A and B are shown apart, each in its own frame.
Chain A
Amino acid sequence: GENVEQHPSTLSVQEGDSAVIKCTYSDSASNYFPWYKQELGKRPQLIIDIRSNVGEKKDQRIAVTLNKTAKHFSLHITETQPEDSAVYFCAAYVYGSGNTGKLIFGQGTTLQVKP
């Protein structure tokens, strides 16, 4: 069935360093890949997304890359700050019959940025 694998499960970096989180997906028909940031007890917030017609997208300190051939995509955070500490989820959109498509989420990565 559809599956999204996310690594690492935890990541600790020093403030100012870069952080990279990687995901792989199984459904070759997936064409939409969002990333969410969730702080403790709060809602997941969409931070960046990418569609399959591009290989990379940047938004200030955040970038996402997509390799459709290998079926993997990555989140890159540069110049990390303590407020970047949170759980990050990747997701891949999977099409179903009619309007039954859905997002399949990765297991999550707990990012800790040490000041």
Chain B
Amino acid sequence: GAVVSQHPSWVICKSGTSVKIECRSLDFQATTMFWYRQFPKQSLMLMATSNEGSKATYEQGVEKDKFLINHASLTLSTLTVTSAHPEDSSFYICSARVGGGGNQPQHFGDGTRLSIL
């Protein structure tokens, strides 16, 4: 149980392209999903918290107009990197929280490796 699917797993595209990443909870409903960015050999950096039916909460320093988040249903959240540039190249991982309480397990998707040429 508690499977999180993330798609695509790998994206290579030209500078200026917008890229959409999907995160789905397959066997549970997730009121809250999280989007992280991870650079090589570094920890997970939270970018934003995605709440179903409301606006996402962004961490300090993360541009909300650059990283658009939509959480339209209890099983799907999307992250769109708009007008991507080489510095946006990274490993993006989503997670979904089981249950409504804060102290509940979070399960991660497989991640999306984004490479901007």
Contacts and interface: CB of A to CB of B under 8 A. Distances in A.
Interface of A: 31-32, 34, 36, 41-46, 49, 51, 89, 93, 95, 99-103, 105-108
Chain A interface, >50% SS class: strand
Interface in B63-117: 93, 102-111, 113
27 contacts: A32-B102, A32-B104, A34-B105, A41-B111, A41-B113, A43-B110, A44-B44, A44-B108, A46-B105, A46-B106, A46-B107, A51-B103, A89-B43, A89-B44, A93-B103, A99-B32, A99-B51, A99-B102, A100-B57, A101-B102, A102-B34, A102-B49, A103-B34, A103-B106, A105-B43, A106-B43, A108-B42
Interface of B: 31-32, 34, 42-44, 46, 49, 51, 57, 93, 102-111, 113
Contacts of A45: 108
Given A45-B108, A100-B57, A105 B102 contact: no
Contacts of A95: 102
Nearest to B31: A99
A16 to B, nearest CB: 27
Nearest to B48: A102
Contacts of B103: 31-32, 51, 93
Given A46-B105, A93-B103, 10 more contacts: A32-B103, A32-B104, A34-B106, A43-B93, A43-B108, A51-B103, A89-B43, A89-B44, A105-B44, A107-B42
